Amino acid sequence: MFIEKEYKFEITEEKRKELSDEDGVFISNVMYDNGSLEKENSRLRLRKTPEKTLLTYKKPVKSEGNAKREIEYEVEVIGDIVPILNKMGFFPTTSYEKYQVSFNKYGSKITIDKYPFTTIVEIEGGDMDRTAESMGLDPKDSTDKAIDTIHTERFGFLKHIKFN
């Protein structure tokens, strides 16, 4: 078990270009539930990148200040795990796509995720306050909301969030 601690900021396209001029790697995410995970505010995500497929379980825990914290278990998947998930009663609930750029600064891992409707910067580990401030971001402005929650609050529920 790993407890992830991160700052998460919604940024403009202009800010994204200031932080990185890379387009990023395409990533596809599908969320699964068996009827019980959403009730306990947990998530089961199947993520596909060009290099690997990861199955991740996440459950939020009490935040520290403005930093989001969650329990996280993650395993790399070899082969097609979807039939196994289905046999266990897990079925897709939502999906989303993004382009991601990652780099390190002051011991922190920084990811810039460009979604079809917004861009999010995440800062994990290291000196998170120093890293955020060096990027022109205020830790007090960090959000603990998941990307599908941000989308639902802004546009209503959409099962699949995809680029055209």
Q: pLDDT by residue (tens digit) across 51-63?
A: 999 999 999 888 7
Torsion of CA 108, 150, 47, 41, to 10 degrees: 100
pLDDT tens by residue, 136-161:
999 999 998 888 889 889 988 778 88
What is the architecture of the domain spanning 2-161? Beta Barrel (2.40)
Cα–Cα dist 111/107, whole Å: 13
Residue 30 one-letter amino acid: V
Decide: 67 and 138 in contact? Cβ < 8 Å. Answer: no
Chain-centre distance for alpha carbon 71: 13
Alpha-carbon distance 7 to 12, whole Å?
A: 16
Q: What is the pLDDT of residues 90-118, one digit of tens each?
A: 999 999 999 999 999 999 999 999 999 99
CB-based contact 25:97 (threshold 8 Å): no
> Which tokens in the block code for residue 81?
């795990």
Question: What residues have CB less than 8 Å from 51, skipping those under 6 apart?
Answer: none
Domain boundaries, the chain: 2-161
> Does the global pTM surpass 0.85?
yes
Q: What is the mean pLDDT of residues 10-35?
A: 95
- Mean pLDDT rounded to a whole number for the chain: 92
